[in-house]
């Protein structure tokens, strides 16, 4: 892709190069998965989420999606059990997939407890489905935004393309994909900056929430214990100009971050500018700096993605 596709997408003249991506029909399993995932949005928008979701689950298309999910989950677990039964790895980390890892752990737990393994426990089904849905939509949305952002910024596109071709010149000359070793050993600060800027602007999950475990104060406002606090990741300071809050009402932890993180320029905070993440030394050498400004796309703390 680096040599045949990416290298050919140079937007030197508007409208001269148009890429049309083919659309393929979804498999039965993928369609069922997306149906179930989309139904989860009820909990965020309905005033009576529990009742609303229950009533939604009674529709034939939802029942069919649930049936398909159960069938393919059982089928994939059975496949993993057969793989592990034929060739037990030396350790759990030598398994070929997350599902095989789960099967091996269940087998080990059953042996230790002197009981038959329960590979079809609901907990395993739920965990497997969580693996599948946890990042599929956010990853796809982020990549889509990445294509959009880089297409709207031809200068950034050309710079990134040139740096990638220089970093993987051997792969480009040999008309092949870069190897894993080539990728992991390469240092391309501008690529890191493009990725970070895409994540900053995509805001594929725009809201993060926390529950107050004790009575507390946030920016001068009293927050009782048990209150859910929601804050947006596409608002002031992150993707919009800051509001400007007096520092005397900042918490100690917030004041402690002032020296660690920079601030985005208000005049261009809404624009796609990968250079905002780059430091340049006296010799003109570029380095990527993750602390240049506020960034919470993946949340923070133990619940960070």
What is d(CA 151, CA 272) in angstroms, rounded to the nearest whole number? 11
Give dist(CA 239, CA 280) in Å, integer.
Answer: 24
Domain borders along the chain are: 6-20+140-201, 28-134, 204-303
Q: How many CB atoms lie within 10 A of CB 202?
A: 22
Yes or no: say if 204 and 142 are a contact pair by the CB < 8 Å rule: yes
* 233: confidence class by pLDDT, cuts 50, 70, 90: confident
Which residue, 266, 297, 291, 265, is CA-closest to 278?
291
**8 Å CB contact between 280 and 286:** yes
State yes or no: 305 annotated in a binding site. Answer: yes
Which tens digit of pLDDT belongs to each residue from 179-219?
999 999 999 999 999 999 999 988 777 778 888 999 998 88
The pLDDT mean for the chain works out to 84
Per-residue pLDDT tens over the stretch 24-34:
888 898 899 88
Q: Over 50: is that where the pLDDT of 172 sits? A: yes
First to last CA, the chain: 29
CB atoms near residue 145 (< 10 Å): 17
Spatial CB neighbours of 35, under 8 Å, sequence gap ≥ 6 = 61, 62, 65
Say whether pLDDT at 8 is over 50: no
CA dist 28 and 40 (Å) reads 19
d(CA 220, CA 213): 17
Whether the pLDDT of residue 281 is over 70: the answer is: yes
Sort strands 278-280 and 228-232 into parallel, antiparallel or unpaired.
unpaired
Above 80 in pLDDT, residue 36? yes
Highest mean pLDDT among 9-23, 46-60, 274-288: 274-288
Could you tell me where the DSSP H helices lie in 16-89?
Answer: 28-39, 42-45, 49-57, 60-86
What's the rounded Cα separation, in Å, for the pair 55 and 58?
5
Ranges assigned E (strand) in 156-227: 207-211, 216-218, 221-223
Residue 252's SS3 state is helix
Taking the model in full, what pTM does it have?
Answer: 0.68
| pLDDT, tens digit (0-9, with 9 covering 90-100), for 42-97 | 777 778 888 888 898 899 999 999 999 999 999 999 999 988 887 766 655 566 78
**pLDDT at position 9:** 45
Q: Tokens for 81?
A: 């059990």
């Amino acid at each position: 892709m680096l040599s045949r596709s990416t290298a050919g997408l140079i937007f030197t003249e508007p409208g001269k190069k148009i890429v049309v991506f083919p659309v393929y029909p979804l498999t039965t399993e993928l369609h069922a998965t997306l149906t179930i995932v989309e139904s989860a949005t009820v909990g965020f928008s309905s005033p009576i989420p529990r009742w609303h979701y229950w009533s939604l689950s009674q529709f034939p298309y939802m029942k069919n999606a649930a049936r398909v999910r159960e069938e393919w989950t059982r089928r994939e677990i059975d496949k993993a059990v057969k793989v592990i039964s034929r060739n037990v790895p030396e350790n759990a980390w030598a398994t070929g997939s997350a599902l095989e890892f789960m099967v091996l752990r269940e087998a080990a737990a059953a042996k230790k407890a002197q009981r038959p393994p329960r590979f079809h426990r609901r907990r395993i089904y739920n965990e497997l489905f969580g693996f599948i849905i946890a990042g599929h939509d956010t990853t796809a949305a982020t990549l889509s935004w990445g294509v959009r952002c880089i297409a709207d910024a031809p200068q950034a596109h050309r710079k990134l393309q040139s740096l990638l071709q220089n970093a993987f010149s051997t792969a480009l000359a040999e008309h092949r994909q870069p190897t894993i070793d080539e990728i992991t050993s390469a240092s391309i600060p501008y690529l890191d900056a493009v990725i970070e800027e895409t994540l900053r602007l995509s805001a594929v999950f725009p809201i993060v929430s926390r529950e107050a475990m004790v009575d507390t104060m946030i920016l001068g406002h009293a927050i009782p214990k048990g209150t859910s606090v929601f804050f947006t990741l596409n608002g002031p300071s992150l993707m919009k100009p800051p509001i400007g809050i007096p520092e005397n009402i900042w918490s100690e932890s917030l004041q402690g971050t002032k020296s660690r993180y920079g601030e985005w320029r208000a005049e261009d905070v809404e624009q796609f500018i990968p250079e905002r993440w780059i430091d340049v030394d006296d010799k003109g050498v570029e380095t990527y700096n993750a602390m240049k400004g506020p960034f919470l796309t993946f949340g923070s703390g133990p619940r960070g993605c």
